[in-house]
Amino acid sequence: MAESAPLIMDAPAIERALIRLSREIEEKNRDSLSQLVVLGIPNRGDELGRRIAEEISRHTGVKVPFGVLDITMYRDDVGTRAAVPRPSAVPVPLDDRIVVLVDDVLFTGRSVRAAMDALADLGRPRAVQLAVLVDRGHRELMIKADFVGKNVPTAHDANVRVELQATDGADRVVLEGGAANGQNGGEKPAAALAHKDLLGIAQLTRAEIGLILDTAENLADVARHPIKKVPALRGRTMVNLFYESSTRTRTSFELAAVRLSADVVNINVQTSSVSKGETLLDTAKTLEAMSVDFIVMRHASSGAPHTLARHLKASVINAGDGWHEHPTQALLDLYTVRQKLGRIEGVTITLVGDILHSRVARSNLLAFTRMGAKVRFCGPPTLLPEEFRALGAEVIYDLKEALTGADVVYVLRLQFERHRMGLMPSVKAYTQRYGITADRVRWAKPGALVMHPGPMNRGVEIAHDVADAPNSVITDQVANGIAIRMAVLYLLEAGRSARGGEAIT
């Protein structure tokens, strides 16, 4: 912040304004103080709301509940604000309560509209009131604050910046000219993914993987709402273009998009123009001509999504290409391990099975090593080439050695549909040597997680009792896939908005 920026309010002025706002809220609700709830809107309204709630409680002797209402997923300007949502922390049920929303700066009214949408998903308050520290005018919506600390007429391209002791080291409000993106309250530009597409783990930095995991952790809260939907991608369209069979991944992407309010189109390749000889690229260009925003693609040929991404403006997400990669599976596996063990760095994960044909194994190798984990591969020599050592995996052919000391036992499906003759003597021989049984899981660390990307061949690569054991997190992987794919869709959209629609492939 430039030192010459005009000072609108200093610390004593902010304190006086908050006390006055508290008294006005008390007076308006003097007969209903016991029903009052104060909710702050991040990034500065939450701290202001806390101070107001504490002042009302101190002055009246009535304990006023305070919480935080996150509106990130309800905004209509994705990409111009901080992109990582966080769960709302609402201390009491809101039904029949009087809710006081607190924000730092009232400008266009978009934040308040988003807050009202968020409230509608959390309960049915008796009344909603709005308190702001600064009202700067230039309203785009018919919204008026009930309580205002200071009215500050400004030029439209000016920026009112609120700084608070708890977040910035000092209380003050300053006026800055020509603020980019019309930001208020000191919010930073959106965190987003650098590329328009998600084609593989290889393109992601460690920081971007962390961003996806953190975003997914917060988006998982949507599934606990009474209404399991937020409007972050309202008006966007996602197409599932699957050239291979899928239940989990396709359905997971569909639910992720629906929960973000995007429209979803599922293409049945067997009954589409592909069956009449239409090329992959022509199919995709036909879809883009219909103004779709995301194409989620699974294809038997490695590199097929990359081909689409080079020719299309729409964001392409790789849902599995041949033996190459399956990035969202690896991301949900990272998320599950972090969720259950509290960390990824330093974890030892052993993947057992058909490594040769597994895109999941390749993506997990890249993802877990990038995040500081140790990755072991185990399987028959015909299904586990030595070349994987060069990619950073420890290649072990003895199952007991591979499982000893492992924090995670990751079982891979035998992909019979990709096998050539001579890769295995028999399925029975594979199960006898590499099948994961309860006795063999005990070679790993006590309580080691058991994971599987699905679908499972029970009784072949994994025993029934292992798949259903308390330390099995296979169903958790399925649930976490929705949150991860919501995060990917949201962050790709945020990145596109932040770049003004410019594609970076």
Domains along the sequence of the chain with CATH: 7-182 (3.40.50.2020), 327-479 (3.40.50.1370)
Report d(CA 31, CA 455) in Å as an integer: 60
Q: How many CB atoms lie within 10 A of CB 63?
A: 12
Length of the chain measured in residues: 505
- Asked, as a colleague might, if the bond just before 455 is cis with ω within 30 of 0, I would say yes
- Edge-to-edge order in the sheet of strand 36-40: 66-68, 36-40, 98-106, 127-135, 147-151
List, in sequence order, every residue forming a beta bridge with 198; answer none if it has no partner. Answer: 317
> Exposure string (b/e) for 5-33, b if CB count within 10 Å is 16 or more?
eeebbeeebbeebbeebbebbbebbeeeb
Question: Could you give the CA distance from residue 322 to residue 302 in angstroms, rounded to a whole number?
Answer: 4
- Residue in this structure with the two tokens 């016991």, named with its chain if needed: 34
Give pLDDT tens digits along the chain (505 positions): 445 678 999 999 999 999 999 999 999 999 999 999 999 999 899 999 999 999 999 999 999 999 999 998 888 766 555 457 778 899 999 999 999 999 999 988 888 999 999 998 888 999 999 999 999 876 667 788 999 999 888 777 788 899 999 989 999 999 886 433 334 444 343 367 889 999 999 999 999 999 999 999 988 988 887 778 888 899 999 999 999 888 899 999 999 999 999 999 998 776 666 665 678 888 878 888 999 999 999 998 999 999 999 989 999 999 999 989 999 999 999 999 999 999 999 999 999 999 998 999 999 999 999 999 999 999 999 999 999 999 999 999 999 999 999 999 999 988 755 555 556 668 888 999 999 999 999 999 999 999 999 999 999 999 999 999 999 999 999 999 999 999 999 999 988 776 665 544 4
Query: What count of other Cβ atoms lies within 10 Å of the Cβ of residue 476?
Result: 16
State the pTM of this model: 0.80
Nearest to 175 by CA among 165, 185, 190: 185
Contact (CB, 8 A) for 461 and 205: no
Compute the Cα dihedral for 90, 95, 98, 100 and give only its sign. positive
Alpha-carbon distance 260 to 501, whole Å? Answer: 19
